[in-house]
Copies of this chain bind each other. A is one copy, B any other.
Amino acid sequence: MYRTKTCGELRLENAGQEVVLAGWVQRSRKMGGMTFIDLRDRYGITQLVFNEKVDVELCQKANKIGREYVIQIKGTVQERESKNAKMPTGDIEIIVQELNVLNASDVPPFTIEDNTDGGDDLRMKYRYLDLRRSCVRANLELRHRFCLAVRHFLDSKGFLEIETPVLVGSTPEGARDFIVPSRMNPGMFYALPQSPQTLKQLLMVAGMDRYFQIVKCFRDEDLRADRQPEFTQIDCEMSFVEQDDIIRLFEEMAKYLFKEIRGYDLGEAPFLRLPWSEAMRRFGSDKPDMRFGMEFVELMDVLKGTGSFGVFNEAAYIGGICAKGCAHYTRKQLDELTNFVKSSQIGAKGLVYARIQDDGSVKSSVDKFYTPEVLQQLKQTMQAEPGDLILIISGPDAMKARKQLCELRLEMGSRLGLRDKNKFALLWVVDFPMFEWSDEEQRLMAMHHPFTAPKPEDVPLLDTDPAQVKANAYDMVCNGVEVGGGSIRIHDAELQAKIFKVLGFTPERAQEQFGFLMNAFKYGAPPHGGLAYGLDRWVSLFAGLDSIRDCIAFPKNNSGRDVMLDAPSRVDQKQLDELYLSLVDPDKGK
């Protein structure tokens, strides 16, 4: 062992002890005849002292050492004269007797400090240096503890962690698969799993009763801001359960994790269970941020047909939110908000506002179209008070307008400081629709996935009005983020076949793609259900991060590249030949 102690553990009571430490040079400074070096390892920082008067040669050697050199020292722990209360080791320093350079270092391309001068691209290229920063390392430590706690909890509830294969079959339903050519089976391909959904259902058919896995999943999607081509799921499944059993168990797990890992008490009360339709009506979102109110108020009765504002009169939806105490917003601030909702990501046509003046009168951007009585009615319906600002969105497509108003609500929440990263609001969104219409595919698509069980009372609607069928599906939402979701699954081969039919599968295609599952259902499939959490997202929430990237050791960029490894890359022709593959020139035939 190159050390007897780490750089994080020495305290006043160790004074007088001889120790050997090893680590990286965080910084070094000369003061008079003394040289001070801060030595860093994963566990902390300890101050080293070299004294010219005591050993001039050693001190000169120390002076030659640069940042990020790896050194080993032998010395004696001594009480510091000027203590540093900000460091756990701030009461002591090491009087160095021996110094050994274990490895030199070039000057790093950015500073290894929490507030580094390195930009995103540089830090990703030199991720091994970025990870030396304690703020980044802390995220990985949190992730480690989080996973351990998940495993501890689920084990205590009788769950078995069972590994499912990474090389599986391709199932075109859902997102795009990554595929892997098989050398031993020329012309054939494995796929990397988008989730172990069907495999965990087979484990239930196999009688495993309670399964979980912390498992890598893969989706070949065009990467939006916070997506990774490979991501990690906490995947769970249980047999002989109903929706309520699953919700109660995973609510208990959430409370346990917040307490254990974050020291945060979510209280005794069960989480709110909000039906999907209500979530859309009140927040315009299936993952509402419940840290603050500012709920939607529908204004169709108040503003449609009650004045001469054509936009409202033609709207399928008019809704408003009340921003408390924002009546003082300037023209510039209101323009910012208007531009925000009109941006291409959000796509609203415009924003109507109404200030409640100190005297109770209403000053609105649509004054000229409405009588003061209508505006007073607006104030009342919105339950607005003097000093408040009413913000209104409308549109010809109710769902789209709601989503735009949702974005505005979140923006106002942020502006008003209502989205505190140290506050957590959890809820379940339940009663999702089974299907949603896809304009692209011109057919109904499964809203969760094709194995989701419809609500038993809605099964007859599958024949008559499938779009109205609700599912036994549920999402766990925290601070506006969907951290997990699941459903009761179909365990009946006949019902499963009917769902595939609604989704536009021919019986042959259903058999070809999911025959293994429907066959399995013939041999005594138990009632079962489960859910899956996005580990990266959940850890990010716990860590108070804006992006999942910061809790992943080696993330990929928006083009799916690992810039540190320089992957993906070209391969030898020999490798392609062995796989009976040839490349097609992307520019040809265009």
Distance of A278 from chain B, by nearest CB (Å) = 27
Contact among B69, B167, B556, B583 for A524, CB-based, below 8 A: B69
The answer to whether A567 and B167 have CB atoms under 8 Å apart is: yes
Q: Which of A179, A180, A522, A526 has the most CB of B within 10 A?
A: A180
Q: Does A516 contact B (CB under 8 A)?
A: yes
Knowing A2-B241, A523-B106, the reply to whether A160 touches B131 (Cβ < 8 A) is: no
Q: Does A575 contact B (CB under 8 A)?
A: yes
Q: Does A275 contact B (CB under 8 A)?
A: no
Q: Does A344 contact B (CB under 8 A)?
A: no
The answer to whether B569 and A105 have CB atoms under 8 Å apart is: no
The answer to whether B568 and A182 have CB atoms under 8 Å apart is: yes
* Residues in B whose Cβ lies below 8 Å from that of A516: 564-566
Q: Does A553 contact B (CB under 8 A)?
A: yes
Contact among B131, B187, B585 for A206, CB-based, below 8 A: B131
Q: Does A222 contact B (CB under 8 A)?
A: yes
The answer to whether A1 and B240 have CB atoms under 8 Å apart is: yes
Distance of A201 from chain B, by nearest CB (Å) = 9
* Residues in B whose Cβ lies below 8 Å from that of A579: 179
Distance of A496 from chain B, by nearest CB (Å) = 12
The answer to whether A207 and B148 have CB atoms under 8 Å apart is: no
Contact among B137, B143, B245 for A207, CB-based, below 8 A: B137
Q: Does A163 contact B (CB under 8 A)?
A: yes
Q: Does A506 contact B (CB under 8 A)?
A: no
Q: Does A52 contact B (CB under 8 A)?
A: no
Binary contact track A213-252/B, C-beta < 8 Å → 1, others 0 = 0001010101100000110100000001110010000000
Distance of A20 from chain B, by nearest CB (Å) = 10
Distance of A4 from chain B, by nearest CB (Å) = 11
The answer to whether A186 and B586 have CB atoms under 8 Å apart is: yes
The answer to whether B42 and A209 have CB atoms under 8 Å apart is: yes
The answer to whether A155 and B148 have CB atoms under 8 Å apart is: yes
The answer to whether B160 and A144 have CB atoms under 8 Å apart is: yes
C-alpha spacing A188/B559, complex, angstroms: 12
Knowing A103-B492, A129-B523, A526-B103, the reply to whether A170 touches B1 (Cβ < 8 A) is: no
30 pairs, CB–CB < 8 Å, chain A vs chain B: A2-B240, A22-B526, A41-B207, A70-B524, A70-B526, A70-B527, A72-B240, A102-B491, A103-B524, A105-B523, A106-B523, A128-B520, A129-B523, A130-B206, A131-B207, A131-B208, A137-B208, A148-B151, A151-B151, A163-B232, A166-B230, A167-B230, A167-B567, A169-B562, A179-B571, A187-B583, A202-B564, A516-B566, A580-B584, A581-B584
Query: Chain A residues in contact with chain B, CB under 8 A?
Result: 1-3, 22, 24, 40-43, 68-70, 72, 102-106, 108, 126-132, 137, 140-141, 143-144, 147-148, 151, 155, 160-170, 172, 176-192, 199, 202-203, 205-210, 216, 218, 220, 222-223, 229-230, 232, 240-242, 245, 491-492, 515-516, 520-527, 552-554, 556, 559-562, 564-572, 575, 577-586
Known: A103-B491, A103-B521, A164-B554. 5 other contacts (CB 8 A): A103-B525, A128-B203, A148-B155, A178-B180, A186-B583
